[in-house]
Structures are given as C-alpha cells and as structure tokens.
Amino acid sequence: MNVAETREALSELVGGIQPGDPLPPERDLAARLSVSRTTLRKAIAELVSIGRLVRRHGVGTFIAGPKLAQALSATSFTEDMLARGFEPGARTLSARTRSAGAVLGRRLEVSPESEVLRVYRLRLADRDPMAIEELHVPSALVPGLSGDDLASHSFYALLEQCYGVRIATGVQALEPTVTTPEESELLRVPVHSPAFLFERTSRTEDGQVVEFVRSVYRGDRYRIVAEIAPRG
C-alpha cells in the first residue's frame, strides 16, 4: 500500500476506537496493515494534519473527537455552543477604542474619524480554546461597552438587551490559514496548524453595519457545512 492507501485504511481502523484513546503502537499497526513503519508514520502524520489524530508532545498520539459542524449562519458563538450542549466562554485578550481609519471605516460604513471599539477575544467551549475573534464595532452603537463586558457576556445578547440592536443579516468570507505562533499558543495547537479564517460583516434589518469580525477557528475542531442555494 502507498501512503494514501495506508492513510485511508488507518483512518477506517481509527474510526473504531473511542475519541481520546491512544493510537495503538506503531509496530502493531504496521503489522496489521502490512506496511513499513516509514509508510505508516507518513500516514499518521497526514491524519494528524487533518485533525483525525492529535499528537501531544512527550505523551503520544490520540484519536481526535468528532469535529463540530459549523453552519454559515447569523448565530453567535454563544448560541452555537449552547445548541451543542457546550458551556460557551470568552477571555478578553485586549480591548481599545481608536478612530476607524480609511479601511475599517469603509468596512463599517462610518467616517475614518469615527471611534471604533476593537476587542480581541479567545472563545472557549467547555474551557477548551476553539477560536480567536477580533471584533470591531462602531463605538456610537455601543456606548459604555467594555472588553470586560465581553468576557462575561455574549456580544449579541448585550447588543439586543442593552442597546436594542438586533443582527439580522451578514456576509461571511472563509479562507484557509495556518496559525501564527501567538495564535497557536492561545489555541493550544502546534505552530502553523490548519485553521479557518472568517471575516464577517453583520447588519441590522435596516442595513446598518454593526460589526466587522475577523476570526481564526481551529481546523482540527471544525468543519464548515453550508446549505446549497437552490438551482435557479
């Protein structure tokens, strides 16, 4: 078997093992699949890179849990996590207010001089780091909102309850990326791990831009599932 065939056979074999359990010893796997240790190691490395296996340095290689299917919808991180039965969480890494400047001003449809609140948050599910979000919101929409508020509360819930602003629609772009050393440390993944880069612009029912968010989601924990629009 070549590496690709070995990867597929190994993937099937691994499917019968409980997530969180260790991968059986290499010599057993190589014998079971009748492949060399070199081919097996390459196949293992491929399964690690696509998130089927998790390598913990100095400990070993383990079967990864199932990935979370993330829809492209206007829901919040908190709503998504609650719907899955996880405890949502956030850690504010930094928060500051500054003028929008030309680029962000265009995205938020405000003047370059307008004040914008930028909050950088780590998002958690059952205390596990899942994503890093860089939120930009025009300050005029959320007077008094602080980074601390967003560590303990859902942004979308605060928007609705405290500011009477409801997000209705949005545009979301998705690109592949790899984690920087800083992101890797925060997300507790190896440097240059595959990840999803999202950019979302959300609007109210009457078209006002509420947020521009750039987020990095762990590639080993998520798969993106989108409804296909009906054929015209």
Q: What is the contact surface with ligand GLP in residues (CB under 6 A)?
A: 76-78, 133, 135, 154-157, 200, 211, 213, 215
**Between 7 and 218, CB nearer to ligand GLP:** 218
Q: How far is the CB of 95 from ligand GLP (least distance, A)?
A: 13
Residue closer to ligand GLP by CB (options 46, 80) is: 80
Q: How many CB atoms lie within 10 A of CB 2?
A: 10
- Residue closer to ligand GLP (CB basis): 46 or 211: 211
Q: Rounded distance, CA 34 to CA 36, Å?
A: 7
Query: Which two tokens mark 63?
Result: 């079967």
Smallest gap from residue 124 Cβ to ligand GLP (A): 11
For ligand GLP, give the closer residue by CB, 40 or 135: 135
Q: Determine the residue type at 67.
A: K
Q: How far is the CB of 156 from ligand GLP (least distance, A)?
A: 4
Query: Diameter of the chain by CA atoms?
Result: 67
CB 227 within 8 A of CB 73: no
Q: Closest approach of Cβ 21 to ligand GLP, in Å?
A: 31
Q: Phi/psi at 45 (nearest 5 deg)?
A: -60, -35
Give min distance, CB of 77 to ligand GLP, in A: 4
Burial class, 25, CB count within 10 angstroms (exposed 0-12 / middle 13-18 / buried 19+): exposed
In terms of residues, how long is the chain? 232
> How many other CB atoms sit within 10 Å of the CB of residue 38?
10
Closer of 120 and 155 to ligand GLP (Cβ): 155
Judged by beta carbon, residue 52 or residue 121, the one nearer ligand GLP is 121
| Nearest approach, Cβ of residue 165 and ligand GLP (Å) | 12
Question: Of the candidates 210, 143, 212, 134, which has an alpha carbon nearest to the alpha carbon of residue 172?
Answer: 212
Give the position of tokens 């990326």: 177
By the 8 A CB rule, do 120 and 109 touch?
Answer: no
